[in-house]
């Protein structure tokens, strides 16, 4: 059996003027808490170092300040150092500015102080041009490029791990791409508003849709998911919590209770992935990819 204790570190709101050192200090506190519970992995949210800046229309230096040009850097080095000291791996989401000037919504997996996996968000939600009618903007399509690393799977924690970010979790293709490559554990972070301006009639479903997407992805692909929210009332916008750890059966085995900083843990057995993969969702035996041509056809519009 390949057992480990995994932790999800939900974060409460981050103020617009809060320095990165403040967020890193909070993450270090939660990493220490997770280590005290025996965890060997802790998952932090999407864009965990700052407030969710795509809710504002920004240009030039006002935009550049939210991006990291190196990882680790002076602000995040304490997290890397603590990870190595405690022997706790971690997943971290942040805004990345590459040397070539590209901007991505990025996540990394760090083990023994070294980056062992990197992912750049593919399914970017929101809009590209400011829309004044909205109570807050969601300009991810303006500020980020579509991820160019694909849905990669890598060796970590004695198994096969993958990552996705926020809106990716809603797309079954995300989970299937990871499952086809043998991912046994998927780490993901999210910043999800409670209010969805284009369809406010769905506001009461935000927690349900979050859980539905993650549970279905786990069950249909026989893998574990560790999902970490940035939550609470952040700069006039309410973000859902609901951080969770989900088993390959689709069952929620641990879930955050509030919308502030909170660590949840669960013992996970990576060998349980086989329960699904050798039965109903034996992909080698039961998939019929020759009939799925529309899945990779060019998108319309």
Active site residue 164: no
Q: Which of 68, 111, 121, 184 is catalytic?
A: 121
Residues 6+ apart with CB under 8 A from 165: 46, 93, 105, 107, 119, 121, 188, 189, 190
Q: 30-33, long-range: CB within 8 Å, 24+ apart, which pairs?
A: 30/261, 30/263, 31/79, 31/82, 31/83, 31/86, 31/88, 31/90, 32/82, 32/86, 33/263
- What are the tens digits of pLDDT across the range 75-133? 999 999 999 999 999 999 999 999 999 999 999 999 988 999 999 999 999 999 999 99
Q: Which of 166, 218, 237, 273 is catalytic?
A: 166
Residue 129, number of CB atoms within 10 A of its CB: 9
- What are the tens digits of pLDDT across the range 106-120? 999 999 889 999 999
Q: Which of 46, 68, 140, 262 is catalytic?
A: 46
Q: What percent of the chain has pLDDT over 90?
A: 97
Helix (H) or strand (E) holding 227: strand 224-229
Which token pair is 226?
């560790």
How far, in Å, CA of 215 to CA of 102, rounded? 33
- What are the tens digits of pLDDT across the range 225-259? 999 999 999 999 999 999 999 999 999 999 999 99
Burial of 208 (0-12, 13-18, 19+ CB in 10 A): exposed
Strand partners, 164: 188
Active site residue 218: no
Which token pair is 19?
């320095």
Whole-prediction pTM: 0.97
User: What is the average per-residue pLDDT within 209-224?
Assistant: 98
| pLDDT on residue 300 | 79
**End-to-end Cα distance, the chain:** 48
Tokens 């990025």 belong to residue? 106
Active site residue 121: yes
């Amino acid at each position: 059996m390949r057992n480990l204790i995994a932790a999800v570190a939900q974060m409460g709101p981050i103020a617009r003027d809060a320095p990165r050192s403040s967020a890193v200090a909070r993450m270090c506190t939660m990493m220490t808490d997770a280590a005290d519970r025996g965890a060997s992995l802790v998952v932090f949210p999407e864009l965990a170092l700052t407030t969710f800046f795509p809710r504002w229309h920004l240009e030039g230096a006002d935009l550049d300040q939210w991006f990291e040009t190196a990882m680790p850097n002076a602000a995040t080095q304490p997290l890397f150092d603590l990870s190595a000291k405690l022997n706790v791996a971690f997943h971290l989401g942040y805004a990345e500015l590459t040397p070539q000037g590209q901007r991505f919504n990025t996540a990394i997996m760090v083990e023994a102080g070294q980056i062992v996996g990197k992912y750049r968000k593919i399914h970017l939600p929101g809009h590209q041009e400011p829309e004044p009618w909205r109570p807050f903007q969601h300009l991810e399509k303006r500020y980020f490029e579509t991820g160019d690393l694909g849905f990669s799977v890598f060796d970590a924690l004695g198994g096969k791990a993958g990552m996705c970010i926020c809106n990716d979790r809603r797309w079954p293709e995300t989970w299937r791409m990871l499952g086809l490559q043998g991912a046994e554990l998927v780490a993901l972070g999210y910043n999800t508003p409670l209010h969805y301006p284009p369809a406010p009639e769905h506001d009461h479903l935000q927690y349900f849709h979050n859980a539905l997407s993650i549970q279905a992805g786990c069950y249909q692909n026989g893998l574990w998911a560790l999902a970490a929210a940035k939550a609470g009332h952040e700069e006039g916008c309410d973000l859902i919590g609901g951080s969770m750890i989900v088993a390959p059966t689709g069952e929620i085995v641990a879930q955050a209770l509030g919308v502030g900083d909170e660590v949840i843990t669960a013992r996970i057995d990576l060998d349980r992935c086989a329960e699904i993969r050798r039965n109903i969702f034996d992909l080698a035996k039961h998939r019929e990819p020759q009939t799925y041509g529309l899945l990779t056809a060019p998108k319309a519009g």
